[in-house]
Amino acid sequence: MIALVLRELRLAATGGHALLPLIFFLLVATLFPFAVGPDGPLLARTGGGALWMAALLAALLPVDRLVEPDREAGVLDQLAVRGSGEEAVAVAKLAGHWLSFGPPLIIAAVPAAALMKLPGEVLLRLEIGLLAGTPGLAALTLMVSALTAGLRATGALAGLLMLPLAVPILIFGAGYIEGGGDAGALKLLLAVSLLLVAAAPFAAGAAIRAGRD
Amino acid sequence: MPEALLSLTNVACLRGGRLLFEDMNLTLAPGGAAVLTGPNGAGKSSLIRVAAGLLRAAGGLVQRSGAAALADEGLALDPRLTLARALGFWARLDGGDAGAGMAAMGVAHLARVPVRMLSTGQRKRAVLARVIASGAPLWLLDEPGNGLDPEGLERLREAMAAHRARGGAILAATHQPIGLDDAPRILLA
C-alpha cells in the first residue's frame, strides 16, 4: 500500500501531472487581474472566488493520467492478480494524488493571493478552505478518471462529469471566504469533501472492475 | 495426491453476449502444465484471465491455491524507470528477486536502460522476467513466445522446465511451439 502511494508520488513528480495544475493555477491568478483591471478593492472582493474556480479547473487537468495509463499498461491487472483489491488500489491512488495536488496548491495560493491583492484574513480563509476542499477535489478527479478510463477523448467528457459534481465544493469554499469566515460554510465544505473522499474508493474501485469486461 | 494449484470445474465464459466456451475442466497439479490452442478469438486469453481472477466465469468453479503470476500483452512497467527499478517494484510486492528474473531471461545487461527504450522482444523478456522473479507457484502465460528470438525461446523453455521441476505449474496459451511438448493440449474451438 505504501509502495503504491510512493509510486503515485513518483509518477506525479516525473510525469509532470503535479506541476501542470500548479502552473495552471498560478497562470489564472496572473491573468485574472488583466481581465478585470487593476482595481485593488474589486480584485480583493472577487479574487477569492476566482482562485476557487482556478483550483477547481486545475483539479481537472490530471484526469486522463490518473487511471488510464495504468489500465492500458496492465498495471491494474497485475495488482489484481497479486490480490490487491481495486478499492485498496483506489485508496492508494487517492492518497498519492492528493499529496501531489493539495499541498502544492495550498502553497501556490500564497503568491496567487498576492496577485489578487487579497487581505491577510481572506488568504487565511482561502488556505483553510483549500485544505478542507482539495481532498474532495482529488477524490472527484479520481472517480471521474476511473469512470472514463478506456474511453476515447475523455477530456471534454470528464469536464462535463466532474464540474457539476464540484459545485458544492465551489459554493461552500467561496462562501467561506465571502461570508467573512462563516463557520457553517466551512463545516458544509468539510462534509462535502468527506463524503467525496469516503465514496471515491468504492466508486473508483467498481469502475476499474467494470472496465475489465 | 498433492493439492492442485489451479482447478477449473465446468467453467463457462461469456464475452459480449457470446459464449466462448463451456464445461471447461482443467486441473494443474504441482509440476503440471497445459497448453491452450485454438484459432484467434477462441477464448484462449479469456481463459487465462478467468484463471487469473480478472474475468468472472459465467458459470462453474475456479479454484486456485497459492499465488499466480501473469504474463500477458500488458507491459505494466513504468516507462521512465530503468528496467531494474521497474521490475524491482513488482519484485518487492512479490517478495521476489528481480535480478534472478532478469538473469534468467538474459536481460541483466539492460538493468540500467529505461523501459521506454526497450525493443518489443526485450519488453517480452522483461514481462517474463517479472513472472520468473515473482516466485509464484502458478504461471499464467498468454502468448509467451510472441516477439522472442530463438535464444529467448530457449531461455523461456529452460525457465519453464526449472519452474516445473521446483513444483510449479504452467498454463500457457500459444500458437507456436514453446517447449511444453509433454503437456496436454486443450483445443478451444
Segment B39-67, tens digit of pLDDT = 888 889 999 999 999 999 998 999 998 89
- Residues with Cβ < 8 Å from A213, sequence gap 6 or more? B55
Cα of A16 to nearest chain B Cα, Å: 12
Q: Which of B14, B49, B78 to mutate to test the interface with A (most CBs of A within 10 A)?
A: B78
Closest CA to B54 of B38, B35, B74: B74
Long-range interactions of B51-54: CB distance < 8 A, separation 24+: B51/B6, B51/B8, B51/B140, B51/B171, B52/A77, B52/A80, B52/A81, B52/B140, B53/A80, B53/A81, B54/A77, B54/A80, B54/A81, B54/A212
Q: Which residue of A has its CA nearest to B52?
A: A81
Question: B12 and B60 in contact (C-beta within 8 Å)?
Answer: yes
Judged against a pLDDT cut of 60, whether residue B164 lies above it is answered with: yes
Is A81 close to B52, i.e. CB distance below 8 A?
A: yes
Segment A138-152, tens digit of pLDDT = 999 999 999 999 888
From B68, B75, B140, residue closest to A74, measured CB to CB: B75
Cα of B113 to nearest chain A Cα, Å: 17
Closest CA to B139 of B5, B46, B26: B5
Interface membership of B89 toward A (CB under 8 Å): yes
Interface membership of A210 toward B (CB under 8 Å): no
pLDDT confidence band for A12 (50 / 70 / 90): confident
Segment A20-33, tens digit of pLDDT = 889 999 999 999 99
pLDDT confidence band for B1 (50 / 70 / 90): very low
Judged against a pLDDT cut of 90, whether residue A154 lies above it is answered with: no
Q: Which of A1, A67, A78 to mutate to test the interface with B (most CBs of B within 10 A)?
A: A78
pLDDT confidence band for B2 (50 / 70 / 90): low
Q: Which of B89, B94, B127 to mutate to test the interface with A (most CBs of A within 10 A)?
A: B89
Residues of B in contact with A73 (CB under 8 A): 74-77
* d(C-alpha B74, C-alpha B18), whole Å: 24
Q: What percent of chain A has pLDDT over 70?
A: 100
Is A81 close to B77, i.e. CB distance below 8 A?
A: no
Residues of B in contact with A83 (CB under 8 A): 67
Question: A85 and A76 in contact (C-beta within 8 Å)?
Answer: no
Q: What percent of chain B has pLDDT over 70?
A: 99
* d(C-alpha A168, C-alpha B46), whole Å: 43
Is B76 close to A73, i.e. CB distance below 8 A?
A: yes
The single-letter code of the amino acid at A188 is: L
Interface membership of B74 toward A (CB under 8 Å): yes
From B69, B73, B76, residue closest to A75, measured CB to CB: B76
CA B95 to chain centre: 18
**Three-state secondary structure call for residue A55:** helix
What DSSP state is assigned to residue A122? H
Interface ipTM: 0.92
For chain A, the structural domain boundaries read: 2-210
Residues of A in contact with B93 (CB under 8 A): 3, 82
Bigger pLDDT: B179 vs B169: B169
* d(C-alpha B144, C-alpha A38), whole Å: 65
